[in-house]
């Protein structure tokens, strides 16, 4: 069975305390640790250079954002009654 070795690189970034706090806040909001959040942001930036603008989201995050989008949509027919009781009238 092949063993895949993932190359690692240590990087030092001169971040202000405010930038570090913001990165930590966003990582926590995304449900990931700081290195994972930074790696995801880096991969997203690299995919933009390749012409891909699609963002790959974990299913739970996608589902949450999709439900939020649905909740914000107006009904095209606000007079339509889709209650269970209306089907028996």
Model confidence over 6-62: pLDDT tens digits?
778 888 989 999 999 999 999 999 999 999 999 999 888 887 755 555 667 889 998
Q: Model confidence over 59-78: pLDDT tens digits?
A: 999 899 999 998 888 877 77
Is residue 62 situated within a structural domain? yes
Is residue 79 situated within a structural domain? no
Is residue 67 situated within a structural domain? yes
Is residue 7 situated within a structural domain? no
Is residue 65 situated within a structural domain? yes
Is residue 21 situated within a structural domain? yes
Is residue 22 situated within a structural domain? yes
Is residue 10 situated within a structural domain? no
8 A C-beta contact, residue 52 and residue 62: no
**pLDDT at residue number 44:** 85
Domain count, the chain: 1
Range of the domain at 45: 17-72
- Which of these, 24, 19, 42, lies nearest to 34 by C-alpha position? 24
Q: 0.95 exceeded by the pTM?
A: no
């Amino acid at each position: 069975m092949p063993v895949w070795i993932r190359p690692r690189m240590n990087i030092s970034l001169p971040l202000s305390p405010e930038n570090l706090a913001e990165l930590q806040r966003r990582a926590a909001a995304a449900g990931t640790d700081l290195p994972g959040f930074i790696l995801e942001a880096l991969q997203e930036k690299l995919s933009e250079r390749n012409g891909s603008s699609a963002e790959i989201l974990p299913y739970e995050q996608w589902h949450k954002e999709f439900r939020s989008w649905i909740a914000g949509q107006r009904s095209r027919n606000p007079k339509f009654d889709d209650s269970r009781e209306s089907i028996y009238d």
